[in-house]
Amino acid sequence: MAKTSSSTRHLFITGGVVSSLGKGITAASLAFLLKRRGYRVSMQKLDPYLNVDPGTMSPYQHGEVYVTDDGTETDLDLGHYERFAEVECSHSSNFTSGRIYRNVIDRERRGDYLGQTIQVIPHVTEEIKASIRQLDQPDVDIAITEIGGTVGDIESQPFLEAIRQFRYESGAHRALVIHLTLVPYIRAAGEMKTKPSQQSVGILREIGIIPDMLICRCEREMEEEHFRKLALFCNVPRHLVFAEQDVANTIYEVPVELSRQKLDKHVLELLDCRPGSLRIDDWKEMIKRLLNPSGGEIEIALVGKYTSLRDAYKSIYEALDHGGAAHDRRVKVRPVEAEELTDLEQASELLKGCAGILIPGGFGDRGIEGKIIAAQYAREKLVPFLGICLGMQCAVIEFARHVCDLPQAHSDEFSNATPDPVISLMADQKQYTDKGGTMRLGAYPCELADQSLARTAYNQAEISERHRHRYEFNNHYRQLMSDRGMLFSGLSPDKQLVEIIEISSNPWFVACQFHPEFKSRPLQAHPLFKDFIAAAMKEHKRNA
Ligand code: GLN
């Protein structure tokens, strides 16, 4: 039997009954608790769908695409991993069936398997296990692998088979399976039902996996009878069945609730690791500030095109919360559908009372004119403004049209007839015809101008931020815009790429080509979000 040679122990999190149970938040919460007990934790997500990565998927299908420092386009759950547990994610942190199959097929073409018939078992399952073993590192004590999808899905089968083998090969105390399931409340019967969970564990058992622990998502409090029933029918000791009841206010309460039930302690016990002591006072303090901010509430307009879909802007919502908590304020987001902003009058109607305006990243021309109007409104009415990626590009187009007398200014992305492409395709993008994984992705350095809002916010001269775009500021217009009052406060070290712009005559108008939201953490709000909220607080006072 091939035993894993490293000392890394593995935890697998599977999900049953339905999707959207919050496996990512549960995995991230557990990672947070284990880290706070002194263990070095690494995380990854295995997604059963066939896309090679989520980079080409619509936010309607998949929510936000989270980008790591090394430029991997990943599932939004990795955002939870980085925010909760401050683990650093990379290309080893997200594998899809598409990526796994591509690797296998590439190898087959190379001749690595000469003579063999390539099959799901063993070739695909070996590739999955090799992906999991990428987390076996000398500096990783515990690796947590979340399996996307729901037990019973056709696409999940090779992943579950790979875990079964992995556990068998790992030996005692080295790999655990935690199954997250749903215990629904059936209103008509007035009862909570354990049967769906029993059946889901039944499916796992059919493929040879008996979970070590059960975590049950539930709307209402589970009673002792439910715990006992689940233990008995699922073959899991009673003390290893946990409830994860919906938290009313913030997802950051989940680890606190799970640790109250000693989930982390039991995990460490099963892994034959000493529990260490848990220190989470700062985290609890942060939750308190989020839930009961002493400074009241301010409202920020988020002008986007997936306004009914929080997941599409997941990291932005989180970063706004962090920025608010840093100032003891609650941030209320007013989602504004960009397409509804048809003129300035409409804008003043829909944006009235907002203490700040944020335009997030995006692709495609739907709603673009509305976003440009929102940027104009912010500039003219002196409302604090934060533009992100496409949000920066809209602010540049607006400034060109209305301040620099270039009424037809646009981005190459949306108009190939514009005489003034103030935003244009990046030079090194011209070589690509494929859409997947070809944008300017990941962390790049950026130098900040003295005496700029950005320099004040970061309080340092050089920063590193994550990117995901194909278009950029067109340097041909730099002098003109600078003459008319636009400050280019963040540039790439060779000064060729505009990374941050500001409008000096406004109290706080900052827009960046990168995505600051990916690096904001609950205990460490991102500097731009923190200062944006500070500016919004002043605006709120001005309006009061
Ligand atoms: N569509 C724009 C570009 O590709 C902006 C991308 C974004 O906002 N992430 O440059």
Local confidence band at 298 (pLDDT 50, 70, 90 cut-offs): very high
Question: What residues does CATH 3.40.50.880 cover in the chain?
Answer: 295-543
Residues 230, 235, 241: CA angle, nearest 5 degrees: 45
Local confidence band at 147 (pLDDT 50, 70, 90 cut-offs): very high
User: Per residue in 381-390, pLDDT tens?
Assistant: 999 999 999 9
Task: Check residue 484 and give its pLDDT.
Answer: 97
Centre of ligand 1 from the C-alpha of residue 363, in Å: 6
Task: Check residue 62 and give its pLDDT.
Answer: 85
363 close to ligand 1 (CB < 6 Angstrom)? yes
413 close to ligand 1 (CB < 6 Angstrom)? yes
389 close to ligand 1 (CB < 6 Angstrom)? yes
Local confidence band at 542 (pLDDT 50, 70, 90 cut-offs): confident
| Rounded CA separation 135/45 (Å) | 11
Q: Considering the candidates 216, 389, 394, 446, report the single residue annotated as catalytic.
A: 389
Across 107-142, b (16+ Cβ under 10 Å) vs e yields: eeeeeeeeeeeeeeeebbbebbbebbbebbeeebbb
Nearest CA to ligand 1 atom 8: 361
pTM, rounded to two decimals: 0.94
CB 220 within 8 Å of CB 185? yes
Q: What is the 3-state secondary structure (H, E, C) of 380-434?
A: HHCCCEEEECHHHHHHHHHHHHHCCCCCCCEECCCCCCCCCEEEEECHHHCCCCC
Closest CA to 45 of 20, 91, 78: 78
Q: Domain 295-543, what architecture?
A: 3-Layer(aba) Sandwich (3.40)
514 close to ligand 1 (CB < 6 Angstrom)? no
Pocket of ligand 1, candidates 66, 413, 428, 497: which has the most ligand atoms within 8 Å of its Cβ, to mutate?
Answer: 413
471 close to ligand 1 (CB < 6 Angstrom)? yes
Local confidence band at 34 (pLDDT 50, 70, 90 cut-offs): very high
User: Per residue in 457-475, pLDDT tens?
Assistant: 999 999 999 999 999 999 9
Nearest CA to ligand 1 atom 3: 469
Record: fold of 9-284: Rossmann fold (3.40.50)
Mean pLDDT across 142-161: 95
Which helix (H) or strand (E) segment is 492 a member of? none
Is pLDDT larger for residue 4 or for residue 363?
Answer: 363
Local confidence band at 412 (pLDDT 50, 70, 90 cut-offs): very high
Task: Check residue 172 and give its pLDDT.
Answer: 80
Centre of ligand 1 from the C-alpha of residue 391, in Å: 9
Mean pLDDT across 166-176: 92
Closest CA to 252 of 287, 209, 294: 287
The atom number, within ligand 1, closest to the CA of 426 reads: 10
The atom number, within ligand 1, closest to the CA of 362 reads: 8
pLDDT at 5 over 90: no
The atom number, within ligand 1, closest to the CA of 389 reads: 8
**512 counts as catalytic:** no
pLDDT at 2 over 80: no
**123 counts as catalytic:** no
pLDDT at 404 over 70: yes
Mean pLDDT across 178-184: 97
Mean of the per-residue pLDDT values of the chain: 94
| Rounded CA separation 234/336 (Å) | 47
Relative to beta strand 486-491, strand 440-448 is: antiparallel
Nearest CA to ligand 1 atom 5: 390
43 close to ligand 1 (CB < 6 Angstrom)? no
Nearest CA to ligand 1 atom 9: 361
Local confidence band at 4 (pLDDT 50, 70, 90 cut-offs): very low
| Cα distances (angstroms) measured from residue 15 to each of 179, 198, 307 | 6, 13, 28
| Rounded CA separation 83/283 (Å) | 12
Task: Check residue 513 and give its pLDDT.
Answer: 98
**64 counts as catalytic:** no
| Rounded CA separation 451/516 (Å) | 20
470 close to ligand 1 (CB < 6 Angstrom)? yes
Q: Considering the candidates 226, 266, 467, 515, report the single residue annotated as catalytic.
A: 515
pLDDT at 1 over 90: no
| Rounded CA separation 213/270 (Å) | 10
73 close to ligand 1 (CB < 6 Angstrom)? no
pLDDT at 165 over 80: yes
pLDDT at 338 over 80: yes
Tokens 């420092």 belong to residue: 69
Task: Check residue 96 and give its pLDDT.
Answer: 96
User: Per residue in 76-88, pLDDT tens?
Assistant: 999 999 999 999 9
Local confidence band at 59 (pLDDT 50, 70, 90 cut-offs): confident
Task: Check residue 3 and give its pLDDT.
Answer: 41
| Rounded CA separation 277/300 (Å) | 40
Centre of ligand 1 from the C-alpha of residue 435, in Å: 13
How far apart are the two ends of the chain, measured CA to CA in Å? 71
CB 93 within 8 Å of CB 47? no
Task: Check residue 60 and give its pLDDT.
Answer: 85
Centre of ligand 1 from the C-alpha of residue 96, in Å: 24
Question: What residues does CATH 3.40.50.300 cover in the chain?
Answer: 9-284
Q: Which residues contact 325 (CB under 8 A, 6 or more apart)?
A: 286, 289, 290, 293, 522, 525
| Cα distances (angstroms) measured from residue 392 to each of 48, 105, 283, 303, 389 | 35, 41, 33, 13, 5
